[in-house]
Amino acid sequence: MSANSSTRVGFIGLGIMGRSMAGHILNAGYQLNVYNRSRDKADELVAKGATWCETPGAVAAASDIVITMVGFPSDVEQVYLGENGIVANAAKGTIMIDMTTSSPALSERIATEAAKKKCLALDAPVSGGDVGAREAKLAIMVGGDAAAFRKALPVLQCMGANIVLQGGPGAGQHTKMCNQIVIASTIMGVCEGIAYGKRAGLDLDTMLQSIGGGAASGFQLNVLGPRIIKGDFAPGFFIEHFIKDLGIALAEAHCMQLDLPGASLARKLYEQLAAQGYGRNGTQALFKFYEK
């Protein structure tokens, strides 16, 4: 029997990333309780030993640690603070970990409401996309109580390799905003470089072989660049979710009286693509803008 088998972990949100993340926890020997709005996405995990729960609240009631990986701040609010949600149904001492990219203010509110129930809450958004989730190499940016972080760390280590406590409630989300702001301008540069190379008549794979080993190297170029060249715009991370993230980042920046022209332009371009029906494509589909 695994040393982890006495700890009950709940996982809510089994999308592109969440399914892989939950699978790593199950494979590590934890008792896993799962919920997803579309039940069929849980079938594979249930077949491997996970327990299906009918509501987020039922997951919370049956778990020592509850993890969420859902879509939008409105989803986070409903899952945590709704009538059949996590906070209302969690037992004293439960650790709640929201790994959705969401609002720092909402993370602070959830931490406050959790404390009223003698529970602890962490905001722990991730970076690394579908590849990082599959390979358990996500960067995990955590905000919240240090003692809760230490208790949750073994579970987080099932999913990521770079796990850092950034500060109190909301600090993980603020760090993720920094991440998304950097990506926003970087993916534009990747698309522009490939568009330039294509017009110049270069062999694009050969071009990437050179610049991917130099100062331009990074996830956006080395992982998404080859997908762009192949015309593979399947989602590792949805455009519509990136628009959501940039909206949060730009709203926070506005409150700080900080101008972010790169992030603003990226959001504008992505909103144009979403209006054309590409919102459920991966972020690398920004290249469609440059193909015109």
Nearest to 162 by CA among 143, 139, 142, 133: 139
Which one from 176, 230, 268, 288 is the annotated catalytic residue?
176
Strands of 120-251, DSSP E: 120-123, 126-127, 138-144, 160-167
Which residue has tokens 């439960």? Answer: 94
Q: What is the DSSP letter of 67?
A: E
Burial 15-49 (b: 16+ CB within 10 A, else e): bbbbbbbbbbbbebbbbbbbbbeeeebbeebeeee
Q: 82: how many CB neighbours lie within 10 A of its CB?
A: 14
Nearest to 141 by CA among 111, 114, 169, 162: 162
- Whether 230 and 158 have beta carbons less than 8 Å apart is answered as no
- Whether 73 and 102 have beta carbons less than 8 Å apart is answered as yes
* 116 catalytic per annotation: no
Retrieve residue 228's tokens: 């762009």
> What value does the CA radius of gyration of the chain take, rounded to a whole number of Å?
20
On the 0-12 / 13-18 / 19+ scale of CB atoms within 10 A, 95 is buried
Catalytic residues: 176
